[in-house]
Structure 1
Amino acid sequence: MSTKLLRNATSGIVAAAVAIGANAMEAIAPFDFIAPNSAFAQDVDERTNIQVYKKASPAVVSIDAGDGTGSGSIISRDGLVLTNAHVVAQARRRTLNIILADGRRLPADIVAFGNNGLDLAVLKIRGQNNLPTVALARPGSVQVGQRAYAIGNPFGQFQGTFTVGIVSRIDKQRGLIQTDAAINPGNSGGPLLNSQGQLIGVNTAIFTSGRTAGNIGIGFAIPVDQVQPFLAAVRQGRASTTSTRQRPTSPVKQPQQISLNGTFVNAALSKGDNVLPVDNSFFDLYIFQGRAGARIRIDMISQQLDSYLILLDPNGNELAQDDDGGGNQNATIMATLPANGTYLVIANSSGGGEAGAYRLRALAASGRSYQPPVRRRGIIIIP
C-alpha cells in the first residue's frame, strides 16, 4: 500500500514523547547539578540555530510572481533559483522579480518545470556570477527525528523568517518529507534544511483544518532525492519548459454530508475539482457525524482511477488511510472512532491528474447510522 502527501497529510504523525522519569529527576535534582548541563544544551541548540541561519539565509530569496509570492533557494553562483512550480506556473510573464536577502530586486526568467506534475521549477537571475548559494544534502541522508529548519517569506510579508522543527515522517513510497517546522503560505519553494545548513527538501504544502490558512504543524517538502534528478535534467536541457500543473482550488469546495447507512454516493474526480498542489491530483471531501467507540467502514470503488482514502478525526488528525485495501484499485478504511464529532473523508486519486467516476459509501459496523446535528468543518490545503 502506498502512502502519499495529503493522502498521508496527517499520516504517521507521532506526538513527541516526553521522558517523564527524566523530567521528574531533573525537577528534584540539586540546582548546581542540572544547571550547567541545561545551560550547555541550550547553548548548543541556539548556536546550531544561529549557524544554520547565517549559513543559508543569504541564499534564500523571495519571488514576486505578479499575482502571488513564494520563496526559493539560490543553488548556483550564477543565479539558478530552485522553487515550486505552483509558485510561478500561473505567472502572466516568464520574467519575474527576485528579492534577495540583502534587499536587491533583480529580474529572473523561468527556465524549467518538473515533469509529470512534480512541483519544482528553476528560475535564472539575470547578469549574476557571485551569489551566495544553498548546498544540497546527500540523497538518502534524511532521517525521522532529525532537526529541520525552514526559511522563507510567509504571507509574502516576512522575508527571512526562520522556523525550527523535526522531520516528523518520511514517506518512502512517495518520497516526501513531513515536518512540524512552521510553514505558511509564502514559504512555498523555500528550503527545508538540516543542521549543516544543507537543503534536504523544498517546502511545498501544508495541511490545515478549519477556514484559517495558518500552520498547524503539518508541512511537506519535496526531498533532495527528487530534486537532484530534476536539476540534472535542467542542466542537460531535458526538463520541461512548460508547466502542466493545475491551479490549486482555493478555497476548497465545501464537503458533502453523508451518513453511516451504506448508501453509495456516485461522483467523479475531474478538472475543476479540488487540486492538491503537491502532486496535481484531484479530491472530493465528505463529512459524517460519528460517536466515540463506533466501528465504521468507508469504501471508494472505481474502475476508472486508482482510489485513495483518508479519514480525519474531529481535530483534523489523520485516523486512517488506504490505497488498494478494497482490492484492485479500490480503497477501504475500517476504523474505530475515538470521539464524538464531525469526521472528514478525503476521496482522492492515487496519482496526479487522474480523473474518473467513483462510488463512495460509509457505514456503521452495527448497521445503524448515527446522525447528531451537523457541524460543518472546512479543510484548506495551502500551497
Structure 2
Amino acid sequence: MTTPKLISKFISINALLLTAGIITPAISLHPSLVQRAVAQSAQSTATQIYQQASPAVVTIKNGSGHGSGFIVSADGWIITNAHVVANGPRIVTVKFNDGRQVSADVIGFAHHGVDLAALKIYGLTNLPSIPLSPAGSTQVGDDIFVIGTPLTEDYQNTLARGMVSRISQQNGTLQHSANTNPGNSGGPILNRQGQVVGVHFSGDLQGLVYSPTGRPIGVTKSGINFAISVDRLHTFLKAMRSGKISRVSTLPKQSQKRSIPQLANRNFNARLEKTDIQLTPQTFIDLYQFQGKAGQSVTLTLKSDEFNPVLQLFFVDQSSPKPKYIPVAKNDDRGPADFTAQLNLSLPQDGLYYIGVTTSDRGEQGRYQIQAKGI
C-alpha cells in the first residue's frame, strides 16, 4: 500500500528530478497519485489549523443570544462583532472550547460604524491566542477556514471551509464562500497559516427551492458571506491598545417603528439612502408589504441607474409572538449585461410578504423604481 508520507516524499523527489532534467514528464508520478496526495495534504492543513486555532475561539453569551469571538492576546483580549454585544450587558459570558465559562468585560467599540468590539478577560494568563495575518496579504482565491458557533451552543467550534471570493478595499470587507449561519458572527476567518484574515459578520440569505408544481422542496444558499478585513482589524487593535476606542457602539441605529408601504399592481418610485433600514453595516434596505395566497403568480421588477439593485422576498411567519422573516427568493440580475433585478414566482403559502429593495455593495444609494404585477 502506498502511504501518504511516501506519496508526498515521492512527489518532492519527483519534482526535484524533473527540475534537474534527470527524468522526463513521461516517467513522472501518475496524476492520480498527485491528486490523492494534494487532497490528503489539504485535509491535513484543515486539521492542523483547527487544532491550532480552536482553543482560542470562544462563544460569547450576552443574555439574550450568542455569537462567536477569538482571543488575540495571552492576557485575555477578545475580538468579536459590535452587533453581538452592542445591546447587551457590559459583562458577558465567554465559553471556551473545553466547556469552561468565565466573565468578560465589554471594553469598547470601533469608530465610524465598523462592526468590531473588544472584550477583556481578567485574572487569567497564558491564554491561547490567534495571530493576525499582515495587512494586504489576502488575495481573491485564497483558501479560508471559519471557526465559530453557528445556530446554537451545541455546535460550538464548528469548522467550515471556503475561499476568498472578493475583496473590497473601499469598504474594508472580504467576501467568502464558507458555510456560515447566525451565531458565526464575530468568529475568525483564517488562512492556511492559521492567521486571522477577517472577522465574519454577515451570512447570505437563503432561498426556497421549488418543485415543477411550485411546491417548496428545500433551501439553497448563495455562498455569499462577508467579513471585516484584517486591515481594519489591525487599525482597531492599535486604537484598542492606546485606549482610543468608543465606549458605545457606533453602528447605525435602526429606526424604531417604520411604516412599511403596501405594494399593489403599480410602479413605485423611491430613493434608497442612509436613513433607511440597515441590512448590514452600511448596507441599506427599503421594505414593502403585501398579502398573498399560495400558488399566486407574482412578478416583481426593480430598476435603478444609480446602484446595482438586489430584490428580495420574505414570508412573514406570524405564528409566534415574535415574527420570523423567512427568505423566499432573491435576485440581483435579470440576465447577462442586464442589471435589472426581477422575480417571477408562485407564492408558497397564504399570508404576509415583505419585499426588500437593497444593493449588491455596501454604501450604495440612489433612486429606483419597483414594479409589481399579480398582487
TM-score (norm 1): 0.68
1:172 lines up with 2:169 in the alignment: yes
Q: How many residues align?
A: 305
Match of 1:310 in 2: 309
The residue matched to 2:33 in structure 1 has which SS? helix
Give 1:283 shift: 1.8
Distance of aligned partners of 1:33 and 1:77 in 2 relative to their CA distance in 1, 3 Å threshold: same
The residue matched to 1:222 in structure 2 has which SS? strand
1:243 lines up with 2:242 in the alignment: no
Letter in 1 for 2:143: R
Larger Rg: 2
Within a 5 Å distance, the mapping from 1:367-378 to structure 2 comes to: 371=373, 373-374=374-375
- 8 Å CA contact 1:309–1:345 kept in 2: the answer is no
- 8 Å CA contact 2:53–2:130 kept in 1: the answer is yes
The residue matched to 1:36 in structure 2 has which SS? helix
Uncovered stretches (5+) of structure 1, i.e. residues with no partner? 1-31, 301-306, 321-332, 364-369, 375-383
Match of 2:83 in 1: 86
Distance of aligned partners of 1:255 and 1:350 in 2 relative to their CA distance in 1, 3 Å threshold: farther
Q: Deviations over 1:272-291 (max 9, x none)?
A: x6322333x54214699559
The residue matched to 2:44 in structure 1 has which SS? helix
Give 1:34 shift: 4.0
Give 1:348 shift: 6.3
1:276 corresponds, among 274, 279, 299, to: 279
Distance 1:74 1:289 in 2: 49
- 8 Å CA contact 1:90–1:247 kept in 2: the answer is no
Distance 2:99 2:298 in 1: 51
- 8 Å CA contact 2:272–2:284 kept in 1: the answer is no
Distance of aligned partners of 1:347 and 1:45 in 2 relative to their CA distance in 1, 3 Å threshold: closer
The residue matched to 2:32 in structure 1 has which SS? helix
Higher RCO (CA-CA < 8 Å; seq separation 6+): 1
1:118 lines up with 2:129 in the alignment: no
- 8 Å CA contact 1:309–1:346 kept in 2: the answer is no
Letter in 2 for 1:311: V
Give 1:36 shift: 1.6
Distance 1:350 1:83 in 2: 23
Match of 1:41 in 2: 38
Percent identity among equivalent residues?
A: 37
Give 1:156 shift: 2.8
Give 1:311 shift: 2.6
Distance 1:154 1:297 in 2: 33
- 8 Å CA contact 1:282–1:348 kept in 2: the answer is yes
Give 1:137 shift: 0.4
- 8 Å CA contact 1:312–1:345 kept in 2: the answer is yes
Uncovered stretches (5+) of structure 2, i.e. residues with no partner? 1-28, 209-217, 290-296, 314-328, 347-354
Distance 1:214 1:233 in 2: 40
Distance 1:70 1:183 in 2: 12
Give 1:207 shift: 1.9
Letter in 1 for 2:65: G
Distance 1:266 1:317 in 2: 19
Distance 2:360 2:179 in 1: 27
- 8 Å CA contact 1:79–1:128 kept in 2: the answer is yes
Letter in 2 for 1:140: G
Within a 5 Å distance, the mapping from 1:256-271 to structure 2 comes to: 257=263, 263-266=267-270
Q: Deviations over 1:72-115 (max 9, x none)?
A: 01000000000000000010x21111001221101100111011
Match of 1:77 in 2: 74
Q: Deviations over 1:219-256 (max 9, x none)?
A: 1000001001111111111110111335669xx99886
Match of 2:294 in 1: none
Give 1:35 shift: 3.3
Distance of aligned partners of 1:347 and 1:317 in 2 relative to their CA distance in 1, 3 Å threshold: closer
TM-score (norm 2): 0.70
